[in-house]
A and B are shown apart, each in its own frame.
Chain A
Amino acid sequence: MTASCRIILDSLLTVLLLIVITGPSASAAANNSIITNKPELHLTDQEKAWLEGHKTIRVAFDGYFPPYSMANDQGEVEGMAVDVIQLLAERIGITIDPFPTTVWKELYEAAQRREVDIVATMGRQSAREEWFTFTRPYIFKSLVVMTQVGTQDIFNPEDLAGKKVALVEKYQYVQPLLQQIPAIQPYYVDTMLDGLNAVAMGKADAVITFIGAGHYLQTKYQLANLKFATVFDRGRYTESIGVRKDWPELATILDKALDSITPQEMSNLQEKWLPREEPTQRVSLTPVERDWLNAHPVIRVGIDPEFTPFEFRDKNGNYVGIAADYLQMLQARLGITFEVAPKLTWPQVMAKAKIQEIDLLPCVGRTNEREQYLNYSDSYINSRRVIITRAEAPFVTELDDIKTWKVAVQAASSNEGYLKDHTSIQPILVNSVQEGLVALSGGTVDAFVGNIGASAYWIRELNITNLKVAAPVSEGKLHVAVRKDWPILIGIINKGLATVTEEEKNQISQRWIAVEYKQGIERKTVLKYLVIVFALGLVTALGLTLWNRALRKQVEQKTAALRDELNQRQKATKALEEKERYNRLLFELSPIGLALCRMDGTLVDINPAYSRIIGRSVEETLQLSYWDITPPKYIEQEQFQLKTLEETGRYGPYEKEYIHKDFHLVPVRLQGLLIEQAGEKFIWSCVEDISEKNKVENALLRNQQILRLFVEHSPASIAMFDNKMKYIVASHRYLIDYNLGKQNIIGRSHYEVFPEMPARWREIHARCLSGATEKCEEDPFPRADGTMDWVRWEIRPWHEIHGEIGGIILFSEVITARKQAELELEHHREHLQEMVQERTEEVQEGQKALMNVVEDLQQSSDALALANEQLKEIDRLKSIFIASMSHELRTPLNSVIGFSSVLSNEWAGPVNEEQKSLLMTINRSGKHLLSLINDVIDISKIESGKLDTHREDFDLHEVIHEAMDSLAKDAADKKLEIKAETPHLLIHTDRRRLLQCLLNLLSNAVKFTTKGSVQITAQEILEGETIEISVEDTGIGITKNDMPKLFKSFVRLDSPLRSTIPGTGLGLYLTRKLVRETLDGDISAESTHGVGSRFTLRIPTILNNPEKGVKST
């Protein structure tokens, strides 16, 4: 016996040590005071930081979910959920970006793809948790019964028996409902509106609908003769906000914001969208009760200012707490006015209650003494009375253990009454819980008996560290108490309390108290067990005594032998006893839920693990039927399992879900046996909560998804293969690079996707699959369509956990564009070289007089060719090349041009006319060659980014006239007129290059015009940001065919003038390059063949971006 006691004590101890206490937070208290303060969210720094990065949230609303969210006639979405979301957004400080689609199926799929961040209304379903995190529910939908206004025989759901009830057959709740009330005559309709109409027209007696939808339809279709008759199922169906799974932060933030919505705000919203008088809250009072209330408009209430969290005054002196919330609800539902008596201590309150100066106590326990002057309502709060000791005090298990101690208790409390009624303890009375705890902490007393909630609150609040909750005393129940001479008020209060839904109760207690008892062995269970063990022991002992006596009488000599046998039997009995105790213990302690139920679902016996699965106590659970905790959607499956059970004697294992106390669904795996006892069949079930397991699986899935997303959205080409070269995952970039479009390649073989895969590649794959890592910086990859791609790649194996190669990962980059650019550059350089060569030869042939010069040039060209070779390797050499070419080529030309001038000027002595003419030819040819070289150099500079940009302020008018002046002589020679129409305009750009462009255009115009004029027009356009300069001539014009070739390099258009007009074929090419890349503008041409041409250039008035087109050196 001692051993078993020890075990029990140990277990009890375990239970006690597992008590975890968290008091109500100060913010919760502040938020729920009757005087509402502006709520604060108390976001963590991480949450604030997260919000910084996510200021706009994309929200999808269901457009067909009245009255919570629905599209109105203007196509806008409105409803209660819309209002709630807007309120939340305001609280959090985010902007809502509404998703354009309101069709559920489409928006749900978009949300799965994360095109939507949150879905405003989404019922929590485990299947959806793969994609969404859910906030706490904020819409609670009650199923209500609607009848015609005049219907007088339907007041509660049971009254529907025998009635014709309109139902939409496909709705989930219909079948369970029919099981619950089989006598209902279903009248099936297609839509809820049809159902309402059926009742309105008298075709059905009643319709069952969600209250919101019913209200909406009734209002919209003006079905005035309908009323809400009763509530069928209260607040059981809920809607939460579905948040994309990868944003758990947002779900937490939204939960905090939801918590900040005060009951008043929520009820304002409900009033806006839901029927004003929800039938759940209407308390039907008898006329006598009504009259009594009218005669007693104000009820005086006495409260305990420190009975935290049940009732107390907060820092502002407001009456708050669980009881305060209930009182507020009763006040609204009963039309009573409660007036809280100010500034009284609890003993003063009790004193006044005795003499009926206080009418009602909202939150008290029963004591014998109080029974004399108070009546009690039904209990509405469960609390626990506990013994508190100092941490180092010896273990105690019950009040009996401390009867010799100095025990403090709050004066006039139910705890005092309890001690008086149940023990011989002479307690030391204190005025408040606070005082008692301080006394205990300081050593003045040895124990304190009080309510666990209040005690824990004050221990925390006072920051006392040397106390512990030592043992439970009793399950306390708290009631509303009313002066003895007002029994009628108790009846009214009870009616009011009965309207408080389970959901409302949960909300209140969640708000105020989060005292969580870790499930262990309930004390009651332990006591029951103690009795059984004791009884067993007694019977055994009695039996053995009788037997012993008989033995002694009969065979003395066999005593020894029999004693052995006796011992064995004793042992056997003891073993049996042990075993039974052990079995019971196993049953109680089993982490697997065990339940014995009847065939109709009544629960007969369950262990704590079972009730824990659904978040209830064993006692609570035993009140329920198996069907109460089975979601309707599983009914068919259940029937099948039952059938299997009857046929085979066992069922399962299979998976389903249970309804948790707070309405969420808990995934479980169950199996069981059919047993028969005394002719009745029972089912033994083993039930395992697999939500953790599912969580692990989900976490695994999540990790996989993260990996997949990471790879898919990586900006590189990545593909992962298994060891059969089947795709495991591939990045979007990969699909794009390899032209795979949207086809699904996952699971398909690489060689099936690329049948043209050359053997070389297959070999590389094989090598990597055996452990090699290979890579290549530039690899040509011929396509099936004959094009060639260049690829940079790396392939390496990846390993399974155990080390074997699981497959390969391929990183690759298509570098075709880069490669092409390189090739093109190469091509350009070669072309430049060819150009110089070609032109040089041309000049050589035509101009014998310059033979010597050309030889020099040839040498320079060789130097150029040589430099060009070096240039291909290092870009730096190019600038040296440009410099040297410019110097080396121009220096001798200077002499040719200069001295031919000097000679023809006769500065070196007289020359005859023929000589002068030849000298002029040399001079002209030299100048032509120089301009050719200058153009080539300029182009080369632009292309290599070596062309300097010099921005300066100057007058547009002036630069245009400078260009005209330069061409004036040529024009005059051809008797052409050059006209200009240009404003004085200060611009900021590269003057020299603009002048160069204008000279090119003007000289072309002059060259290709034989008679008429050349007109320059300049003006500001685009509000002065751009200047437009056009050069128009009346020359030969350009044919349509030639237009596209106009700005190409080394193209000279065929024309009758070609042979007579010198030109390099570089002028327009260079001009466009200068305009585009140096002046940041553009040039265009229009022309009518034989009539004239117009070239127009547009450049920024202020050149801001000197780097444009000019690579830095």
Chain B
Amino acid sequence: MKTVLVVEDNDDNFLLITYSLKHAGYAVIRAESGESGVELALQERPYCILMDINLPGIDGIETTKRIRASEINGTIPIIAITSFALRGDREKILAAGCNGYFEKPIDPNTIVEQIQTLIAD
């Protein structure tokens, strides 16, 4: 069973994503902050990482950079989930090393499909 690491501080969002992923047959582990996200990524080597950008402490962009700078480097796909986008945000996200992003709201019916498309790219 493929494991997806969800770095998400908001319980509601996490729960919603979890329903969809689990329904599609993935295992889900959660990190509530950027720091623990980096730690879990190194430890668990998940199939992919869903990264909320708006995190307390270090944000999703910084977290992604750290993961990309670590020994696992580019091997794990990281997909950002953003709830707001101002000018330049998208560029920052991609520049940090995310493979792609999608915007909230999360549609539980399509999220898994979206993730798979982005990973396939």
Contact mask for chain A residues 905-923; partner B; CB cutoff 8 A; 1 contact, 0 none = 1011000000000000000
Report B11 CB to chain A, min CB distance, Å: 9
List residues of chain A with CB within 8 A of the CB of B57. Answer: none
Complex Cα gap A391–B20 (Å): 114
**Which residues of chain B in 73-116 are interfacial with respect to chain A, using CB atoms and an 8 Å cutoff?**
83-88, 90, 104-109
List residues of chain B with CB within 8 A of the CB of A930. Answer: 105
Contact mask for chain A residues 118-130; partner B; CB cutoff 8 A; 1 contact, 0 none = 0000000000000
- Among A345-353, A888-896, A1016-1024, the stretch in contact with B: A888-896
Complex Cα gap A930–B83 (Å): 13
A889 and chain B: residue at smallest CB distance? B83
Contact of B16 among A883, A890, A894 (CB under 8 A): A894
Q: How many residues of A contact B (CB 8 A)?
A: 24
Task: Determine if A883 and B86 form an interchain contact, defined as CB atoms under 8 angstroms apart.
Answer: yes
Complex Cα gap A137–B105 (Å): 87
Task: Determine if B87 and A891 form an interchain contact, defined as CB atoms under 8 angstroms apart.
Answer: no
Task: Determine if A898 and B86 form an interchain contact, defined as CB atoms under 8 angstroms apart.
Answer: no
List residues of chain B with CB within 8 A of the CB of A1113. Answer: 87
Task: Determine if A894 and B104 form an interchain contact, defined as CB atoms under 8 angstroms apart.
Answer: yes
**Which residues of chain A in 1088-1113 are interfacial with respect to chain B, using CB atoms and an 8 Å cutoff?**
1113
Task: Determine if A893 and B108 form an interchain contact, defined as CB atoms under 8 angstroms apart.
Answer: no
A946 within 8 A of B: yes
Task: Determine if B16 and A902 form an interchain contact, defined as CB atoms under 8 angstroms apart.
Answer: yes
Complex Cα gap A930–B86 (Å): 18
Complex Cα gap A946–B90 (Å): 14
Task: Determine if A895 and B109 form an interchain contact, defined as CB atoms under 8 angstroms apart.
Answer: no
List residues of chain B with CB within 8 A of the CB of A269. Answer: none
**Which residues of chain A in 689-738 are interfacial with respect to chain B, using CB atoms and an 8 Å cutoff?**
none
Task: Determine if A894 and B23 form an interchain contact, defined as CB atoms under 8 angstroms apart.
Answer: no
Task: Determine if B105 and A948 form an interchain contact, defined as CB atoms under 8 angstroms apart.
Answer: no
List residues of chain B with CB within 8 A of the CB of A895. Answer: 12-13, 16
B10 within 8 A of A: yes
Complex Cα gap A723–B17 (Å): 82
Complex Cα gap A890–B109 (Å): 18
Contact of A886 among B84, B106, B108 (CB under 8 A): B84
A948 and chain B: residue at smallest CB distance? B87
Contact mask for chain A residues 857-874; partner B; CB cutoff 8 A; 1 contact, 0 none = 000000000000000000
Contact of B13 among A894, A905, A948 (CB under 8 A): A894
Contact of B86 among A879, A894, A908 (CB under 8 A): A879
Report A935 CB to chain B, min CB distance, Å: 15
List residues of chain B with CB within 8 A of the CB of A892. Answer: 12
Task: Determine if A893 and B105 form an interchain contact, defined as CB atoms under 8 angstroms apart.
Answer: yes
Task: Determine if A891 and B83 form an interchain contact, defined as CB atoms under 8 angstroms apart.
Answer: yes
A894 in contact with B105 given A899-B16, A902-B19, A907-B23 (CB within 8 Å): yes
List residues of chain A with CB within 8 A of the CB of B107. Answer: 897-898, 901
Complex Cα gap A908–B19 (Å): 8
List residues of chain B with CB within 8 A of the CB of A946. Answer: 86-87
B88 and chain A: residue at smallest CB distance? A948
A643 within 8 A of B: no
B3 within 8 A of A: no
**Which residues of chain A in 80-120 are interfacial with respect to chain B, using CB atoms and an 8 Å cutoff?**
none
A905 in contact with B86 given A891-B10, A895-B12, A895-B13 (CB within 8 Å): no
A1048 within 8 A of B: no
Task: Determine if A905 and B109 form an interchain contact, defined as CB atoms under 8 angstroms apart.
Answer: yes
Task: Determine if A894 and B106 form an interchain contact, defined as CB atoms under 8 angstroms apart.
Answer: yes
**Which residues of chain A in 871-888 are interfacial with respect to chain B, using CB atoms and an 8 Å cutoff?**
879, 882-883, 886-887
Report A1106 CB to chain B, min CB distance, Å: 11
A902 in contact with B108 given A891-B10, A895-B12 (CB within 8 Å): yes
List residues of chain B with CB within 8 A of the CB of A882. Answer: 84, 86
Contact of A887 among B12, B54, B90, B106 (CB under 8 A): B54
Report B17 CB to chain A, min CB distance, Å: 9
**Which residues of chain B in 10-66 are interfacial with respect to chain A, using CB atoms and an 8 Å cutoff?**
10, 12-13, 15-16, 19-20, 23, 54
A908 and chain B: residue at smallest CB distance? B19
Report A79 CB to chain B, min CB distance, Å: 67
Complex Cα gap A907–B121 (Å): 29
List residues of chain B with CB within 8 A of the CB of A879. Answer: 86
A888 and chain B: residue at smallest CB distance? B83
Complex Cα gap A785–B87 (Å): 47
Contact mask for chain A residues 163-193; partner B; CB cutoff 8 A; 1 contact, 0 none = 0000000000000000000000000000000
Complex Cα gap A902–B105 (Å): 14
Task: Determine if B10 and A905 form an interchain contact, defined as CB atoms under 8 angstroms apart.
Answer: no
Complex Cα gap A260–B3 (Å): 95
Task: Determine if A898 and B106 form an interchain contact, defined as CB atoms under 8 angstroms apart.
Answer: yes
Complex Cα gap A887–B12 (Å): 14
A901 and chain B: residue at smallest CB distance? B108
List residues of chain A with CB within 8 A of the CB of B86. Answer: 879, 882-883, 946, 948
Report A485 CB to chain B, min CB distance, Å: 106
B17 and chain A: residue at smallest CB distance? A898
Task: Determine if B19 and A907 form an interchain contact, defined as CB atoms under 8 angstroms apart.
Answer: yes
List residues of chain B with CB within 8 A of the CB of A886. Answer: 83-84
Task: Determine if B87 and A887 form an interchain contact, defined as CB atoms under 8 angstroms apart.
Answer: no
A926 and chain B: residue at smallest CB distance? B105
Task: Determine if A890 and B87 form an interchain contact, defined as CB atoms under 8 angstroms apart.
Answer: no
Task: Determine if A894 and B12 form an interchain contact, defined as CB atoms under 8 angstroms apart.
Answer: yes
List residues of chain A with CB within 8 A of the CB of B104. Answer: 890-891, 894
Complex Cα gap A905–B20 (Å): 10
Complex Cα gap A1109–B72 (Å): 44
Report B53 CB to chain A, min CB distance, Å: 10
Contact of A898 among B23, B88, B108 (CB under 8 A): B108
List residues of chain B with CB within 8 A of the CB of A894. Answer: 12-13, 16, 104-106
Task: Determine if A883 and B84 form an interchain contact, defined as CB atoms under 8 angstroms apart.
Answer: yes
Complex Cα gap A901–B16 (Å): 10
A884 and chain B: residue at smallest CB distance? B84
Report A661 CB to chain B, min CB distance, Å: 79
List residues of chain A with CB within 8 A of the CB of B13. Answer: 891, 894-895
List residues of chain A with CB within 8 A of the CB of B12. Answer: 891-892, 894-895, 899
List residues of chain B with CB within 8 A of the CB of A898. Answer: 16, 105-108
Residue of B15, B23, B104, B107 with highest tally of chain A CB at under 10 A: B104
A879 and chain B: residue at smallest CB distance? B86
Contact of B109 among A887, A891, A899, A901 (CB under 8 A): A901
Complex Cα gap A840–B105 (Å): 20
**Which residues of chain A in 235-261 are interfacial with respect to chain B, using CB atoms and an 8 Å cutoff?**
none
List residues of chain B with CB within 8 A of the CB of A907. Answer: 19, 23, 108
List residues of chain A with CB within 8 A of the CB of B109. Answer: 901, 905
Residue of A883, A887, A898, A946 with highest tally of chain B CB at under 10 A: A898
B110 and chain A: residue at smallest CB distance? A901
Report A283 CB to chain B, min CB distance, Å: 91
Report A463 CB to chain B, min CB distance, Å: 73
List residues of chain A with CB within 8 A of the CB of B84. Answer: 882-883, 886-887
Complex Cα gap A898–B12 (Å): 10
Complex Cα gap A982–B118 (Å): 28
A927 and chain B: residue at smallest CB distance? B105
B109 and chain A: residue at smallest CB distance? A901
Complex Cα gap A1007–B84 (Å): 29
Report B6 CB to chain A, min CB distance, Å: 14
Complex Cα gap A886–B103 (Å): 11
List residues of chain A with CB within 8 A of the CB of B54. Answer: 887
List residues of chain A with CB within 8 A of the CB of B88. Answer: 948
Complex Cα gap A689–B86 (Å): 80
A941 and chain B: residue at smallest CB distance? B86
Task: Determine if B16 and A887 form an interchain contact, defined as CB atoms under 8 angstroms apart.
Answer: no
* In the complex, the 6 A-B pairs of residues with the closest C-beta atoms, listed nearest first: A894-B105, A898-B16, A895-B12, A948-B87, A886-B84, A883-B84
Given contacts A901-B108, A948-B90, 10 further A-B contacts (CB under 8 A): A886-B84, A887-B83, A891-B12, A895-B12, A895-B16, A898-B106, A901-B109, A902-B108, A905-B109, A948-B86
Of the A-B pairs whose beta carbons lie under 8 Å apart in the complex, a sample of 17, sorted by A's number, is A890-B104, A891-B10, A891-B83, A891-B104, A894-B104, A895-B12, A895-B16, A897-B107, A898-B106, A902-B20, A905-B108, A905-B109, A907-B19, A907-B23, A948-B85, A948-B88, A950-B90
Instruction: Enumerate chain B interface residues (CB-CB to A < 8 A).
Output: 10, 12-13, 15-16, 19-20, 23, 54, 83-88, 90, 104-109
